[in-house]
Chain A
Amino acid sequence: MPFAGYMVVFLGIPLYVVIHGALTTDSNQLTLENFKLTFSYPSFRLGFENSVILSLWTSLAGAVFGIWLAAAVVTARPGGALHRITQSASGVFAYFAGVPLAFAFLAALGQIGVATVLLKHIGIDLYAHGFNISSMLGVGLCYVYFQVPLMIILITPALQGLRPEWQEAALGLGASKLSYLRHVAVPVLLPSVVGATLILFGNAFSAYATALALVGVTLDIIPAQIDNAINGNVLVNADRLGLALGVEMIFVILLVMVGYYLVQRRARRWLR
């Protein structure tokens, strides 16, 4: 099967190179030293911390606003223009917009960005208050821009799976709107919401395009540090450290995926 061969060559070989490089020394001996070093450098620890914090808050913010927006769109007229535009626009922003997004935010909220200048006119000086589009907060804001659409994509099927009959039954049996939400809608949706939020976390954790365009290799997050280690060569043995960081990233993503599959199994019980 040519397909299997293709995947082995073009996915398997790079993956093998990463794992092999992370586990060996320059003289090709097996070692765990590279991993130990990535944990002992304070700069890598800072990068890891920053990556986790950035992924955490952008995934939570993305989840909250994503569900809210998805619910508002789902309850609108089905098949209408709003649905169609939301669907295509979500796809663009969630999957294909990394670099353009960064530049849109630079144009809006950069030092001489349109929104920055506008706000200054009405007396709010963002940069005097310590805001910077190249800071972790600025990058995070930009991440939320693709996290919300991704949440919409992930959660819309679950929201559509909530049958109107359930609400009618609950209300008919004398439940209030609030108790319908609390005892029916939330328990049914919870596994899907947790699963989607996990994906958002992994998504932000492995994302780099936006940060690369916005700040570059100087941002202290893991992907930028890998970039730096591979192309910058500031440290001795830097490329192997970069590969070790890469293996650690894959490990985190795998953990996220395992969590996703566990909650997804529960989600299937009621939906569909």
Chain B
Amino acid sequence: MSVTPGLGGLGASEWIAQEVGGAPEPVRRRRRGRPRLWRVTIFALAAIFFIGPLLAAFKYSLLERSGSYGFANYGQIISNPAVRTSLLKSLEIAGAASIIVIVLMLPTVVWVRLRQPKLTPTLELVTLLPIVIPPVVMAAGLEELQLNAPQWMVSLVFNHPLTALTPFYVVLAMPFCYRAIDTGVRAIDLHTLVDASRNLGASWFRTLLHVVLPNVQTAVLGAMFLTVALCLGEVVIASLMLYNTFPVELVALNLNSQLGVSVAMSMITLAFTFLLLFTLSFLAQRRHGRTTARAL
């Protein structure tokens, strides 16, 4: 779904498990001899439908106002102050949200796993709740809240996009981040690690920071990457509440008949997001190999 996890996040668990936990053991399959017609057909269709628009968009983004080709549209990320400030704003939000998500989620998951395993289904359910509320409805609620909010709340929360959007992006990121962190925590021997650390006199805080965190770093990194991707893409809430974040700015540029710039920025966003997730799957793979070796 679009940038806000939406209902699709309901099925995201397996995908995230693979992204942060590494691929599952390969299943033995009969080798296919020659390429089959049905496979060739779908790969050809997919290539046209999925790669076609991207190539077209890339070509379009290179077209300059003068009619010649060049990278002027991409240069706007530096030279256009509106684009630059909105991108910085979005990055700030992304950074803050990804830290808050970890600070909230990691201790909760560890605590539930160690002390209250019975609460696991409840935790799962609660983290899925944001999915039930379409982003546009969440935005409508916030907008209504903003209109009727007392003055102190307006000046404290709603006056700046960083304070107004970050808390809610954290909520939106919850379904993804819970899955990611839970996958990581499940993969380690949490009981032994925590017991050892506590017996040696470490405080809970120290245990979390120096014992648990290094052991689940891929999962934590995964959760942060997913949150960053979400914050850089979320447009519905920001646009309805009239905050000028990066994606909102892209929409505005298009309405200003600067489609070329919007397309160029879109290509950068897509490439960046893909790189985030692709790097993550490599980290997971490497980590996967190492943890098994270490556990033996």
Contacts and interface: CB of A to CB of B under 8 A. Distances in A.
How many of chain B's residues touch chain A, expressed as a range? 35 or more
Contacts of B240: 227, 230-231
A225 to B, nearest CB: 10
Nearest to B148: A17
A120 interface: no
B247 A99 contact: yes
B14 A223 contact: no
A14 B11 contact: no
Contact of A246 (B12, B136, B277, B282): B136
A127 interface: no
Contact of A164 (B30, B171, B230, B265): B30
A68 to B, nearest CB: 5
B170 interface: yes
A164 B247 CA distance: 45
Contact of B2 (A97, A156, A230): A97
B104 A103 contact: no
Q: From DSSP, what is the main secondary structure of chain B's interface residues?
A: helix
Nearest to A86: B46
Interface residues of A, number: 97
Contacts of B53: 104-105, 107-109, 115, 145
Given A3-B108, A88-B278, A95-B8, A207 B1 contact: yes
B5 interface: yes
Contacts of B250: 99-100, 103, 213
B140 A230 contact: yes
Interface in A1-48: 1-4, 6-7, 9-11, 13-18, 21
Contacts, number: 320
B56 interface: yes
Contacts of A101: 2, 266
A79 interface: yes
Given A88-B274, A203-B6, A99 B266 contact: yes
B141 A257 contact: no
23 contacts: A17-B145, A21-B144, A68-B38, A95-B9, A99-B235, A99-B266, A107-B59, A108-B52, A153-B12, A153-B14, A153-B15, A156-B14, A199-B11, A209-B4, A212-B239, A213-B247, A227-B136, A242-B140, A246-B136, A250-B134, A253-B132, A253-B134, A257-B10
> What 5 A-B pairs come out closest when comparing CB atoms?
A98-B2, A206-B134, A14-B141, A100-B266, A209-B2
Given A14-B133, A17-B141, A114-B56, 7 more contacts: A68-B42, A87-B18, A88-B277, A109-B56, A145-B53, A148-B46, A150-B1
